[in-house]
Amino acid sequence: MMKIKELTKKGQLRLAAMLLTVCLLIMVFPAARVRAANVIDSGDFVFSVLEDGKTAEIIQYNGKSLYVSLPTTVDKYKVTRVGPAAFMSNKTVKELEIPDSFEYIDAHAFSGCQSLKKAEISGNVETIGECAFMNCTALETVVLYEGVMNISDSAFSGCTALKSIELPNSVISLGKYAFFNDSSLEKITIPATINEIGGYALEGTKWLKNQKDDCVTVADGIMIKYNGKEKSKSLPEKVKQIGDFAFAGHQEIDTILLPKSVTKIGVSAFEGCEKLTTVGIPDSVIAIGERAFYGCKQLNNITLPQKIAILDKQVFAECDGLTAITIPVKTETIGEEAFFSCDKLKTVKLQNGVRVIREGAFSSCLSLGRLIFPESLKELNTTACNKCLNLTRVEFNGDTQINSFCFADCKHLTEIVFYKNPTNINDYVFAGLSDLILYSENSLYVEEYARKIKANSDNIKNLPPYVDQGILEKEQQETPPGFSGVYTLIVIVILLVDLTVVVLFSLYILMFSKRRRKRRSSPKYMAGKGTERQRPAAERQAASSESRQGSDTQRHVNRTAPHRERTSDGPKHLQNQNRPRTRYPEKRPDNGERQKPKY
């Protein structure tokens, strides 16, 4: 301690720097040793020890064997996983065996293995990851043992040589695009245990093309595709689920009646059915997936089942024909953009049961004039009702947390009614609005909030009766990003000026050409040209030779004669040709000294 105190200030700084460097080295080198210890290279295989310290996964294959059976142990560790892209784009392996120790095959583990023809997967493997065998174009045989539960998205997509596959009874889910574009697949066994099949799971297969039934149904009543051409369709009782994308993009159907056996409507089930006007949904339905009716522009007659707990994301977005909707009592959540841009939606009845309304749920509903939120509503999320151009009154029956920009750009919104005194209103809820009147029962919170946002406040007793004012403003055409009216006008003016300049220049060139042609066609010009042409060729040649000889003689005289004896004979340009050239004009004084010119 005494030595440190005796050090100078500079020495103390050096000592502190050295101590800091030592600390960093102590921290870095053990971490590097741990990382090195976590990776085990056994030659053909490279392993990584997992976090539990007892198991490992294969992260890379460097071998060149045609037949590969994955190792079950390495050192003291049990191998349980095939890591992401471990065999990706391998060109040598033809047969693969995954033994019982493995529990998981990660994403892209064997994708693009061009030579792989056969794969046997143990029943202990619960999940085959996304794109695990995607684009294995030579794969002909896949053996899945009892125990495999989940086949993820695009797991076997693009396996064009695969002709048949049997899914064991343990499989419960088949991801979207699971066998997409397997063009040779003509036989597949799908057990009744499967309760979820993703969109386009079997699209592009021979098996699906050979199905003659209008309602292609697999497993326990999951309808995966509609092949019919009728405009009105009542689905059979065997249908229990409407699968993802089952009717998507169908351009003819206008009426669909679902049987009481249906319990679920999948993701994008009716998306883009532009002529669909009526859907009969029974009360047996308990779930409707995302974007289920997205873009059904003529849909105007629909009643939601009473057991729906969640209206999912964009479920009725851009349904321009929808005019009224009643949210059931048991519905607790209205998802993101659930009714986004429903231009004709004028009446929304929210039952006392709704607790959360997500972002953009009623955004850009141009015909909405009034919204009444129930006492059960606890949270109104950001932009939930923004850009409702004709909304004039909003009423809150409970203490609702109102987040930023909920009613931003609702240009005609003037009346905000609080039947219960609120406690949590964000500062930017009514961004871009003016002439607001906040009504409450003498709430100090509301009065203070009104002063903060420069709005008026009043007692709820003075609230006037609601009057439907109809459509006050139609949808505005949005200006493309980076453009404005003034900018567009400037661009048009510049284009007009440029066009005018081009036209005037073209006219000038045209007039000049016409004048030149007219001058050349005049009698005087033609007479001169004719006289020259009438001279004999020999005479013209002799005159030309004489002219050249005279010029040569004059040049010789000018070149040989002294400068002082030159006269003004001959052309001026020949007189000046041999004149001494100086940079500055000079004057010589009487004493003979050179004098610089004055400017």
Q: What is the pLDDT of residues 379-392, one digit of tens each?
A: 999 999 999 999 99
Question: What is the sign, positive or negative, of the torsion defined by CA atoms of 330, 332, 335, 340?
Answer: positive
* Neighbour-count burial for 529-541, b at 16+ CB within 10 Å, e otherwise: eeeeeeeeeeeee
Q: Which residues pair with 81 in a beta bridge?
A: 57, 104
**CA diameter of the chain:** 131
Helix axes 485-520, 523-534, angle to 10 degrees: 50
Q: Tell me, what's the pLDDT at 20? A: 57
> Which amino acid, one-letter code, is at 370?
R
Mean pLDDT (whole number) for 473-495: 62
What is the spatial distance between Cα 257 and Cα 234, in angstroms, rounded to a whole number? 5
CATH superfamily name and code, 35-210 = Ribonuclease Inhibitor (3.80.10.10)
Residue 316 has pLDDT above 70, yes or no: yes
Mean pLDDT (whole number) for 141-146: 96
pLDDT digits (tens, 9 = 90+) for 442-454: 889 999 999 999 8
Q: Which residues pair with 41 in a beta bridge?
A: 46
Mean pLDDT (whole number) for 115-119: 96
Candidates 223, 227, 197, 198; CA nearest to 210 is 227
Check if the beta carbon of residue 223 is closer than 8 Å to that of residue 243: yes
> Which amino acid, one-letter code, is at 181?
N
What is the spatial distance between Cα 250 and Cα 405, in angstroms, rounded to a whole number? 37
pLDDT digits (tens, 9 = 90+) for 276-299: 999 999 999 999 999 999 999 999
Q: Indicate the range of 36-40, 352-356, 414-418, 569-573 predicted with least confidence.
A: 569-573
Residue 238 has pLDDT above 70, yes or no: yes
Query: Within the chain, how many helices (H) and strands (E) appear?
Result: 8, 37
Check if the beta carbon of residue 577 is closer than 8 Å to that of residue 558: yes
Q: Compare 577 and 342 and report the one with higher pLDDT.
A: 342
What is the spatial distance between Cα 70 and Cα 572, in angstroms, rounded to a whole number? 102
Q: And the tokens for 428?
A: 């930017």
Count of alpha carbons within 13 angstroms of residue 121, beta-carbon side: 28
What is the spatial distance between Cα 185 and Cα 462, in angstroms, rounded to a whole number? 72
Q: Tell me, what's the pLDDT at 4? A: 42
Q: And the tokens for 35?
A: 């990382």
Mean pLDDT (whole number) for 505-516: 81
- Cβ-based neighbours of 166, under 8 Å, separated by 6 or more: 144, 188, 189
Q: Indicate the range of 2-11, 41-50, 164-173, 337-346 predicted with least confidence.
A: 2-11
Q: Tell me, what's the pLDDT at 468? A: 75
Residue 9 has pLDDT above 60, yes or no: no
Mean pLDDT (whole number) for 14-20: 61
Q: Tell me, what's the pLDDT at 473? A: 59
DSSP output for 467-488: -------PPPPPPPTT--HHHH
